[in-house]
Amino acid sequence: MDKKRGVIGILTGGGDVPGLNPAIRAVTIRALREGYKVIGIRRGWGGLVDIIRDKDADNSNNFQVLTEEIVNRAGRTGGTFLHSSRTNPSKVKKENVPLHLQGQYNEEKNDLTPEVLKNLDYLGIDYMIPIGGDDTLSYGVRLYREGFKVVAIPKTMDNDVPGTDYCIGFSTCVTRTISLTNSLRTIAGSHERIMVLEVFGRYAGFTAMLPTMAGAANRCVIPEYKFNIEHLTEVLVKDRDANPSHYSVLLISEGAMYEGGEMVFKDGTTDAYGHAKLGGIGDLVSARIKELSTKYNKGKPIDVINQNLGYMVRGGDPDAIDSIVPMAFGNLALDLVLGGIHGRLVVLKNGRYDNMPLDIIISTKKLVDVDRYYDTERYRPKYENFEMKPLFIMTSEI
C-alpha cells in the first residue's frame, strides 16, 4: 500500500500467552484503516537484531507486512503468529551475534542498539508497539530514551507489569489454573492425598492467589512471603481431615521460598535478561510435606500428588477477558499514535483504560501487597474489604 501517514512496527516478546494475536489484530486493523502501513517484527526484538540491510537479502524470517487477511486469520487464536523470543538487544552474547555483525561486535556481551535503530530506519518504521512483560518492555524504554517513538502494551500471565492492574494473558491463566486444579481433584480425592500444584510466578504471586481466592485451592504460597514448611504441612493436614473427601490442595508459585531459603532453579543457565530458569520448588515441597505429615497424622505419612501446571495454563485460545482487553489495548495504542503521543504504556487502572509514562516499567516492581491481601498465618488470601476493589481484587497498586 502507499505510505500515507506512516509506518507502525509491532512485536511480541517473552513468553507467549492467549491474547497476543487479538492485540496484533486490533492494532493492525485500526492502523490500516487510519492510513498506516504495519510491519510485524518476528521473534520479538530478535527480528530487529537479525535484519540484513540489503535490498537483495531475504529478511522474511525477520519481519512481514501485515494485512487484514493475515491478522483476521490468527486473531481469535492463542499464542503469537509473529513468534517470540527473550532477546535483549542491549546484551547479546558473543555466540548470538548475527553472522553479518560478528566482525563489529565481538565482546562477551554486546549492545546492538545502534543496529536496531538503523534497522528501524531501514524499514521506515515511525512508531514501535512492543507487546510484552517488564523485560521486553524495558528495552522499549531503552529505545524511547534513544529518541525512538514507542507505545507499549503490557502482556504477562504473571500480571506483574507495573502501572497497570491488568496484563494480557492473566485472566486465561487464572481460568486454566482453576479448571486444571478442579480436574485433578478427583485423583486427590480418590487416593486421599495432599495435592501440590506449582504455577508460574517468579516475583509476584497473583497467579497462585487469584485461583485460591476463587476456591480452587485450600492454601497458596507466594514469592512475596517466605513460608514455614512445618506450619504449611500442619494446615494442609487439617484441611485434609476437615474435607469429607479427605484431600487438600496447595498452589505454589515457582518463585516461592522457604524460611531461610532462596528460589529454586532448574540449572545454571540464564536468559538474555539475566533470569535463571525457575522450577522445582513444587518437587521439594511435596517431598518434605510427605515426610513431615507423619507428625500431624498419627505417625502415618500422607502421599502427595505433585504436578507442575506449567505451560498448560498459557496454551490454547484466549478467554473472554483476554479477547476483549487486547482489542481495547490495541485501539488505545492507536489513539496515542494518532494523537502524536509516545513514550506511554497503555493500562487498565481501576476498571478504566488509560495510559502511563513508559518509564514506570523500570521504576518499580508490582507485587502482591502481603499486608492487605495475604494471611501469613493461614497461607491464603484475605477475604475482606472488597468494596471498590478492581475486578481482580488485589491487582491495583493504589
User: Would you please indicate which residues are annotated as catalytic (active-site) residues?
Assistant: 158
Type of residue found at 298? K
The helix (run of H) or strand (run of E) holding residue 20 is: helix 20-33
C-alpha cell read off for 301:
505419612
Strand partners, 286: none
Q: Helix 321-338 crosses helix 20-33 at what angle (to 10 degrees)?
A: 30
List the alpha helices (DSSP H) in 124-228: 134-145, 170-191, 206-213
Beta strand residue intervals within the chain, DSSP E: 6-12, 36-41, 63-65, 92-93, 109-110, 127-132, 149-154, 194-199, 219-221, 248-253, 265-270, 276-278, 304-308, 344-349, 352-357, 374-375, 380-381
The backbone region for 14, taken as left when phi is positive above 0, alpha when psi lies in -120 to 50, beta otherwise, is left
Which is nearest to 369 in space by CA: 227, 217, 209?
209
Q: Which residues contact 61 (CB under 8 A, 6 or more apart)?
A: 42, 47, 50
